[in-house]
Amino acid sequence: MLSRCSYKTQLLLLSMCALMLPASWSFADRGDRETPLVRAVANCRTAVVNLRGRKTVNSDHSRLSSDTVKQVNGMGTGVIIDSRGYVLTNYHVVEGVKQIQVTMADRQKTTAQLIAHDPATDLAILKLKTDQPLETIEIGTSSDLMLAETVAAVGNAYGYEHTVTVGIISQLGRTVQVNDDQIYRNLIQTDAPINPGNSGGPLLNLEGKMIGINVAVRIGAQGIAFAIPANDAMEVASELMKNVGAQAVTHGIITKTIYDEHQPKLVIDKISPGSPAAAMDLSSGDVITRINEMDACRCLDLQCALIDCQPTSQLRLDVVQDGGARQVQLVLQENTQKTSRIGWTPLGLSVTPASEIEMANRHPNYKRGLRIINVRKGSPAEIEGILEGDILVAMHGWKTETVENLEYILQQPDVKSRKDFMFYILREQEPFWGQMRIASASQKR
């Protein structure tokens, strides 16, 4: 007949069992448990961030001064793609969020700013507030994925930070329509559990490389979730990174990413005549393998290398040309399309032409515009509620498609005499209007 052991007896038995174990075995030995999946998640963990924020919905979308009628808690995930704190995530995670709160893998907290976004693909770039270089996600390729291949999702599921779930690739090339305005194409289907908060996080392979951005789940279904393929996401990220800092330099290189046996290569597609690249005898078909001290294999790598560059800065390019390797010192020139401060003194804002991808699907009446880069405190622009990232599309009865348009408007006699004039902006996809006059002497300081 069995009887219960006392607590002291249990401790004594456990101690005796430990003494009887082989000398080569210990409770701390995890060798058999450290599977490729465990290593994959561990290697990417510090490059994944958790996002939170509150979204504001206005009762009247026609004016900037609309009263707030509803606030909604939002959460999601992002991946660090540049060590200076640039993060890729889904646009729907941060759309309408005024203050994006970020939790790092080590539980440190910071904030992020929305830098650029593309509603059509539901991707966005954020800039974390950080003084330290950060670990970046290792990017894989999505062109060689296999059905039933093991994958893992990492994300802020229901607010549970850095949650890991595992599954397989169920199918490739899916088209999914989530509403009248949003259609995703060429998605990866997986049965790795994806929950609210996972959006924007990485889908990993067993090598620990990101092969997708988790984006959606089929409501009411079991084990049906979707991710944007990494190859597609990196091309969009490259376009979005062109907006970072309104780059003040030009080089004359138009690149494309090609996949040679599923491995990405950064290839020169075209060279602008008379550009710095043309002067260095670079040509279509050349392959760029390194930029300064960093390996390069995607268009994104070139855009990241340009972020902090100034006119006369140099890029050292390692190039494969006609089967041979050469190194080029590329001297950058001033970009005439850089940020314009023509409106800084009179209005308190600086602008740059919005890219085609920024304007795509924003509004049927506006195909071009000027993106607001900076807003001066106490200026007419700030008083009227204009924010960085807004697109100025019209002012005083004229469209503001170019910097020259804005300059012309500011020279009009009634504008210069400080009479009120109308302006129109797009904030994400919503149009707003307001009235403004150029700055007084005290506002110009």
Instruction: Judge whether 199 counts as a catalytic residue.
Output: yes
Instruction: Judge whether 162 counts as a catalytic residue.
Output: no
Distance CA 211, CA 213 (A): 7
Task: Single out the catalytic residue among 82, 92, 251, 301.
Answer: 92
Q: What angle do CA 411, 415, 419 make, to 5 degrees?
A: 170
Neighbours of 326 (CB within 10 A): 14
Task: Single out the catalytic residue among 117, 118, 170, 199.
Answer: 199
Task: Single out the catalytic residue among 118, 122, 232, 286.
Answer: 122
* Token pair belonging to 15: 């101690």
Instruction: Judge whether 420 counts as a catalytic residue.
Output: no
Burial track 54-74 (b if 16+ CB lie within 10 A, e otherwise):
ebeebeeeeebeeeeeeeeeb
Neighbours of 273 (CB within 10 A): 8
* Token pair belonging to 86: 């640039």
Query: Which among 130, 95, 354, 138 has a CA at the least distance from the CA of 234?
Result: 138
Which residues are within 8 A (CB) of 268 and not within 5 positions of it... i.e. 6 or more apart?
253, 254, 255, 277, 282, 283, 284, 285, 286, 287, 288
Distance CA 311, CA 314 (A): 9
Q: Tokens 């090598």 sit at which residue?
A: 207
Which residues are within 8 A (CB) of 18 and not within 5 positions of it... i.e. 6 or more apart?
none
Active-site residues: which are they? 92, 122, 199
